[in-house]
Each structure stands twice: as structure tokens, then as C-alpha cells.
Amino acid sequence: GFRFGAAVTCMELVEHEAFAKAWPGVIDGVKVIGSIQVKGRATVGGNLCNASPAADSVPALIAAGASVSIAGLNGRREARVEDIATGPGKTSLAKGEIVTSFLLPLRPPHSGDAYLRFTPRTEMDIAVVGVGVNLTLDDSGVCCLARVSLGAVAERALLVPEATAALIGSKVDAAALERLAAAASAACRPIDDKRGTREFRIKVAGVLARRAAEIALANARKRN
């Protein structure tokens, strides 16, 4: 797998060829964090621990099955990325704890991932909905492993087991994608704000989940 420090900048990660090749969906999330100038200073650790429900790297990392190492006054511990943020601006970190590194697992053959978001503007904007999908195919082309995560549709980024279940055991065909979209929409519990209504976010979550799964599927088919 890959381990990188929490102080590694977004730009350093984007420019790491081996990581970008292994985890293109995670890179898709990291690439849209702010401007080039911001990515030169910003870190994935900061994006996670800022605990914004709309953080772009977080659904991609959750879909990837990423974990973090945490150091504090009582020693070190490990945690899953999905267990860090507990609400807007709030984390599960104890007083004095900091995230020191990220670990992404080894990928089986025929694995692919993707991250998509919807924003009113093409860049320099905050996600109205973000979706990360990671899946693995067996030798017959059937999905045997999957993780699906949603951002900006709840108080924190969500891991969606029902959406995962829609993919596993299928060839990620039209019927499976329909079930995936329905499960993604059903998992949403968004708010109305100036960026989008609840109904809009729920609808877009299903559409983006389907599209992200199609990209992840194409990536998986390309990887031996």
C-alpha cells in the first residue's frame, strides 16, 4: 500500500506518479481542493481535520479504505478516515491528538476508483454533492469488493453500505447502477442552503454515484 505524511501537500501528492497511477480517484478529489496556490500549501490532513462535510478528498479516501495514524499524549492509534469527522468542524480527535499519516491499502488486480463532484462553478467552488467509488472485479468481471462514499449530503462524509451492496455480485450493469443510484439517494440527509435544495442534492447524489461507478469500472478493466 501507500503511506504518506499528513504534512504532504496536495500538489506533492498530485505530482507523485506512482500514487496517481494507483489511486486516480483519490487524486481526482485532491486535485479540486482550491487553486494551484492553495494546493501548494494545503494538505490532505488539513482537508480531513477541518471536518467540512463538503471536503473533496474525504469521500475518495473513504472509498479507498484509507486509514490514519494519530499521535497524542496517550501514544499512537489508528483510525478509519470515515471515523474522524463527527460533524461540521468537529472531529473524534482527543485534545492534543493530531493525524500524522495516511495509509491506503494494497489494491487487488482489476481495481478502479473515481471521485466526482457537482459544483455551480467549474472550479474554485465547494461541492454541492461529492461521490467516491472504489471497486474490484474478479476474473469473470463480477464486482467482488466495493466501497461508496458521499460528501456534502450529511453532517459528515458517509460510507454507504447499501450502495456497496448494490454493486457486489453484479457486473456493474444497468440494473446494478440503478440500485446504486437509488441507494445513494436514499442515504442522503442534506440541508437546504444557497448552494442547493435537499431535493436537488438527493437527486444529484444518485446521478453522480452512477457516473463515478462507471468511471471506476472502466479504470478497473484497464488494471491487471
How far is it, in rounded angstroms, from Cα 152 to Cα 93?
21
Q: For residue 224, what pLDDT is reported?
A: 67
Q: For residue 123, what pLDDT is reported?
A: 67
Q: Where are the beta strands (DSSP E) in 105-218?
A: 111-118, 129-137, 143-151, 158-159
Q: For residue 196, what pLDDT is reported?
A: 85
Q: For residue 194, what pLDDT is reported?
A: 80
Backbone phi, psi, residue 2, to 5°:
-115, 135
Q: Which of 126, 89, 112 is nearest to 218 (CA)?
A: 112
Residue located via cell numbers 467516491: 132
Backbone phi, psi, residue 158, to 5°:
-115, 140
Q: For residue 121, what pLDDT is reported?
A: 75
- C-alpha dist (Å) from residue 141 to 10, 24, 91, 167, 218: 33, 20, 39, 12, 11
Mean pLDDT by 10 residues, the chain (224 residues): 96 96 97 92 97 97 98 96 98 97 96 95 82 98 98 97 98 98 97 88 97 98 84
pTM: 0.96
Q: For residue 41, what are the contacts with CB-CB under 8 A and spacing of at least 6?
A: 9
How far is it, in rounded angstroms, from Cα 219 to Cα 197?
32
